[in-house]
Amino acid sequence: MRVELLYWKLEGSKAKEVKAFVQLGNGMRFAMRKGAKMTPPDCFPIERAWRAGRTKEKMDLANIRFFPIEEDVDLVHKVHLACKTQTLKATMWWYDRVKEEAEKKILADIQDMCEHGV
């Protein structure tokens, strides 16, 4: 089942929108999907909210995929600009210690979330 979340979108041109998008996507992924790697610290509240006290094993979501609202945005440009700000510093640090590699990994993660869902 494909579920599009109305509030999960990349709107505007500010770095905080990119950060919020990545936080929500990672928070959902770590809350629901077995095999997801360690949760970034800024995603803990989202993970806790989605789990509501349940373990990953108790969440029956194997046949559900959550997707962001489809938008026509230039992801490469948007992520590049966001990664130049201090807003994404902690998020980038979690993805990779090398700034250029972190930017590539964030972009790939966002593209994967948009294409395959969480």
| DSSP per position, 16-63 | HHHHHHHHHHHHHHHHH-TT--PPPGGGHHHHHHHHTT--GGG---TT
Helix and strand element counts for the chain (H, E): 5, 2
Q: What is the pTM of this model?
A: 0.84
- Of the chain, the percentage scoring pLDDT greater than 70 comes to 94
The pLDDT score that the predictor gives to residue 34 is 66
Residue 36 has pLDDT above 70, yes or no: no
The SS3 of residue 70 is coil
Q: Which two structure tokens, joined as six digits, stand for 79?
A: 């992520």
